[in-house]
Amino acid sequence: MDEADSEVQARVRASFERQGLMAHLGARLTHIGPGLVHIELPSRPEVTQQHGYFHAGATSSIADSAGGYAAFTLFPADSSVLTVEFKINLLAPAEGEFLDAVGAVLKAGRTLTVCRLEVFAVAGGQRTLVAAGQQTLIRVDARPER
């Protein structure tokens, strides 16, 4: 997998660190490439539902962020990203040591970008696709993040 250049990586990491929800969930960036981002979420009781599976809210949140940052890697340095819409299908119960959310740019536009979202549960070295979706993002120019 290709790595994004150091300036893009620094910009993505700085933005990710400002996300309170990702910190609250315990999510971490594991790959930043041009148009491709991976976010991992370790299993712990705080991110599960009543049956012990990863909660759909946690699964969807890391998928949304992975897609958003995948798009962000292709945006100009003075811009930011916002999700316009996303749809996710939960395909299987999400259980394992961690989830790996993958956001990949399908079509980068001047204003709108479309990404594919996939979330894999990883258990004993085996990856199982547990969620898949699509997302539309908007590039917002000259709007600093807080």
Q: What is the pLDDT of residues 43-65, one digit of tens each?
A: 999 999 999 999 999 999 999 99
Residue 144: the pLDDT is 67
- Amino acid, res. 136: T
Q: Report residue 114: phi and psi, to 5°.
A: -110, 135
3-state secondary structure of 35: coil
Residue 3: the pLDDT is 94
Structure tokens at 76: 């100009």
pTM listed for this prediction: 0.95
- Amino acid, res. 71: A
Residue 48: the pLDDT is 97
Residue 92: the pLDDT is 97
The CATH code of domain 6-141 reads 3.10.129.10
Strand segments, DSSP code E, in the chain are 28-33, 36-42, 79-90, 98-108, 112-123, 126-141
